[in-house]
Amino acid sequence: MRKLLIKLFIKDYKNTSNPKVRESYGTLAGIVGIISNIILAAIKMIVGTISISPAIFADGVNNFSDGLGSIITIIGFKISSKKADKDHPFGHQRFEYITGMIISFIILMIGFSLFKESVVGIYDLFKGNAVPLDVSNPFIVIGSLVLSIAVKCWQAIFYTKMGKEIESDALRANSKDSLNDCITTIAILISTVIFIVSKGSINIDSIASLLVAVFIIVSSISLIKETINPLLGEIPSEEFVKELSEKILAYEGIYGIHDLVVHSYGPNMNFATVHAEVSREVDVMESHDLIDNIEKEVSKALNIELVIHMDPIEVNDEKTNEIKKIVRNILNDIDEKLTFHDFRIVPGVTHTNILFDVVMPFDYPITDKELKTGICNRISEYNEQWIAVIHIDKMYNNIIK
C-alpha cells in the first residue's frame, strides 16, 4: 500500500535528494497520519466513554494528539524544503530536525499526563473509589482495541520505511510514537480482557496505564536525545568517512589526508573540509589542478560540498622519511590511537627541529600539555639533538586509510 500511495501522489518519487520530493514524502506521511489517527481517536474516545474506561479514553486522546503531530510534520517538511536565502544561506533543512524534536516533546508530555492519570486511578482503586468498567458490549470494546493495534503497527512500519526512503528523523520519531501507541493499546487490551474474564473482580486498568506511561516517558527521552544530536552537530557515519577517505586517497599524487571536518545542515546539505598531502616537488599549479578535480568529482559522487586544503610535504628526502618513521614508532609505543601529520624537519648546526601535529581523541585520559610533554621527552631520549615542536589537534573524525 505504501508503494502504491508513493507512486500515485509523489511525482519523481525516486529523486529523494530533491527538497520538493522530500516535502511530498513528508506531506503524504502527514496526511496518512492525520486521517488514520483522527479515525482511531474518535472510535476510542466514544468506546472509552461508553465503557467508562479512562485508559481507553486517554488512548483516544493520545491518538488525537498524534493527528496534531502529523500536522506539525507537514509544516516541518514544508519549511525545510524552502530554498536558501540571504538570512539562511545553507537552506532550511535543519527545520526537519526541529520538527522531530517537537514531536518527541509532545510524546513526553503525553507520557507525563498518562502517568498522572494512572497514579490517580491506582489511588482510587486502593481506596475502593474506582469506577468499574462497563463491558456489556465486550466485542465492541475488544474489537476497537484490536483495530487500533493493527493500524498502529501498520503506521510504525509505514513511517519507518518512509523515513528510510528520505533519511528523515521526523518520520523516525513518528514511527517510534506509533510503536509506543501499539504497546500502550496492547497493555490496555490485556487489562480489559483480564477484567472481562475475572467478571470484574480484577481491575488493573490504571496499573497497565502506569506501566505504559513509564515506557512512553523513557522512550521519548531517548528520542529527544536522538533529535537534538544533529542540531548540536554530530560525527558523520563511519561508512561516509570511509567512502570519502577512499575516494580522495585513490587519486595518484595524494599521500594522505587529515583534519576532516563535516558539517550537516540537513539530510541533503552536507559540507566537508579536509587537508590533502601532496609532494612539495610537484609544481604548485599541477597540484592545484589535481585538488580542483578531486573537489568537483568527489562532491558530485557523494552529493556534498567538498573543500580541500593542499598540504605540500617532503616525499623523497631520506633523512625526513627516516625521522618520520622513528616518530611514528614512538607514537605507536605511547598509544596506537595517536596519529600525526604535517611532518617536517628544520636541520640546524646544534639541533634539529621536528615539527608535526598530533591528532588526539576527545576522550583521551590525559591533557594536551601532558601528552605533548610525554612525546617531546620520548623524542629527546632517542636523540638529544632533536627538538619536537608539536601542535595538538582534536579528532573530529576518525579517517579510515
Question: What confidence score (pLDDT) does residue 130 get?
Answer: 65
Q: Give the separation between CA 247 and CA 269, rounded to whole angstroms.
A: 19
pLDDT tens across 364-374, in order?
899 999 999 99
Band of residue 199 on the pLDDT scale cut at 50, 70, 90: confident
* Residue 43 pLDDT grade (very low, low, confident, very high; cuts 50, 70, 90): very high
In the chain, residues under CATH classification 1.20.1510.10 are 2-232
pTM of this prediction? 0.68
Pick the CATH number of 235-312 from 3.40.50.1000, 3.40.50.300, 3.30.70.1350, 3.40.50.620: 3.30.70.1350
The answer to whether 55 and 191 are in contact (CB under 8 A) is yes
Q: Are 117 and 209 in contact (CB under 8 A)?
A: yes
Give the pLDDT confidence score for residue 399 in this predicted structure: 65
Instruction: Over range 33-59, report the average pLDDT.
Output: 86
Q: Give the residue range(s) of CATH 3.30.70.1350 domains in the chain.
A: 235-312, 317-401
pLDDT digits (tens, 9 = 90+) for 122-140: 887 777 776 666 667 788 8
Please determine, for residue 401, whether its predicted confidence score (pLDDT) is greater than 60. Answer: no
How many Cβ atoms sit within 10 Å of the Cβ of residue 247?
15
Backbone phi, then psi, for 83, in 5-degree steps? Answer: -70, 160
Confidence of residue 64 (pLDDT cuts 50, 70, 90): confident
Pick the CATH number of 317-401 from 3.30.70.1350, 3.40.50.720, 3.90.79.10, 1.10.10.10: 3.30.70.1350
CA distance 101 to 260: 28
Residue-averaged pLDDT of the chain: 87
Q: What is the CATH number of domain 2-232?
A: 1.20.1510.10
Give the pLDDT confidence score for residue 131 in this predicted structure.
Answer: 63
Q: Kindly give the interhelix angle for 19-50 and 169-197, rounded to the nearest 10 degrees.
A: 20
- Which pLDDT tens digit goes with each residue over 11-40? 888 888 787 888 899 999 999 999 999 999
| Pick from 35-44, 222-231, 349-358: least confident | 222-231
